[in-house]
Amino acid sequence: MDSGDAWVEGPDGQRFWGRFGAAGLLVHDLRRGILLQHRADWSHFGGTWGLPGGARHAGESAVEGALREAAEEAAVPPDAVHVLFESVLDLGFWSYTTVVGQAVRPFEPHMADVESIELRWVPVNEVTALPLHPGFADAWPQLRARLTALSD
C-alpha cells in the first residue's frame, strides 16, 4: 500500500498528518476504561494524551488504518476489539476518523514503537484529568456520550 505518511496543509496554513487522512482507535474496556497513549515529546502535540493512531494508507479504510496503527503503536490485537462506531472530523481537504471499539477480551498494551511515552487504561471519568491532545479533547465529550448511551 502507498503510505500516507506526510503532512497536508490546509488553506489557513495549519498542518495535519496523513496524505489520505488519519484514524485512531478508542478502545473501551468495561472494567479498565479507555486505552490512552501519552504521545512522544517529538510528535505533533507531543506530551499530550490521545489515541493510538496515525496516517491512513492509500485505499485503506478508517477501521483498517486505526486497527493497524493501534497494533503498530500499542500492540493492540485487532481480534480483541469489536468496532462499535466511527466518528469523523471532515475538513474537506483532510479527515480524521475515531474508530470506537469495545474490548472483547483482556489484553495488555505495550509500547511497540517510539511514538509513546506511556500507554495506560484510564477510567472514563478520569480522562479529562490528563492533558489531552487538542483534537481528542474537542471530540471526547461527544465520544463519551455515545459510549455511555451504548452502555445504558
Domain range for 97 is: 7-151
**Does position 1 have pLDDT exceeding 70, yes or no?**
no
Partner residues linked to 36 by β-bridges:
120
Residue 135 has what DSSP assignment?
H
Query: What is the pLDDT at residue 44?
Result: 78
Q: Tell me the mean pLDDT in the region 95-107.
A: 97
In this structure, what CATH number is given to the domain that contains residue 25? 3.90.79.10
Give the CA dihedral 57, 58, 64, 66, nearest 10 degrees. Answer: 40
User: Does residue 2 fall inside a structural domain?
Assistant: no
User: Does residue 129 fall inside a structural domain?
Assistant: yes
- pLDDT over 70 for what percent of the chain? 99
Cell 487504561 sits on residue? 121
Query: What is the pLDDT at residue 64?
Result: 97
Write the CB contacts of 80 (distance below 8 Å, at least 6 apart in sequence).
103, 104, 105, 106, 107
User: Does residue 105 fall inside a structural domain?
Assistant: yes
User: Does residue 118 fall inside a structural domain?
Assistant: yes
Query: What is the pLDDT at residue 32?
Result: 96
**Does position 151 have pLDDT exceeding 80, yes or no?**
no
Q: Tell me the mean pLDDT in the region 80-93.
A: 96
Question: Considering just the CA atoms, what is the radius of gyration of the chain in Å?
Answer: 14
Query: What is the pLDDT at residue 27?
Result: 98
Residue 84 grid coordinates: 462499535
User: Does residue 25 fall inside a structural domain?
Assistant: yes
User: Does residue 1 fall inside a structural domain?
Assistant: no
Query: What is the pLDDT at residue 152?
Result: 65
Partner residues linked to 38 by β-bridges:
49, 118
User: Does residue 70 fall inside a structural domain?
Assistant: yes
Structurally, the chain folds into a number of domains equal to: 1
Q: Tell me the mean pLDDT in the region 91-116.
A: 92
> What is the C-alpha to C-alpha distance for residues 149 and 110, in angstroms, rounded to an integer?
29
User: Does residue 134 fall inside a structural domain?
Assistant: yes
Mean pLDDT of the chain: 93
Condensed to tens digits (0 to 9), the pLDDT of residues 18-70 reads: 999 999 999 999 999 999 999 887 887 878 999 999 999 999 999 999 999 99
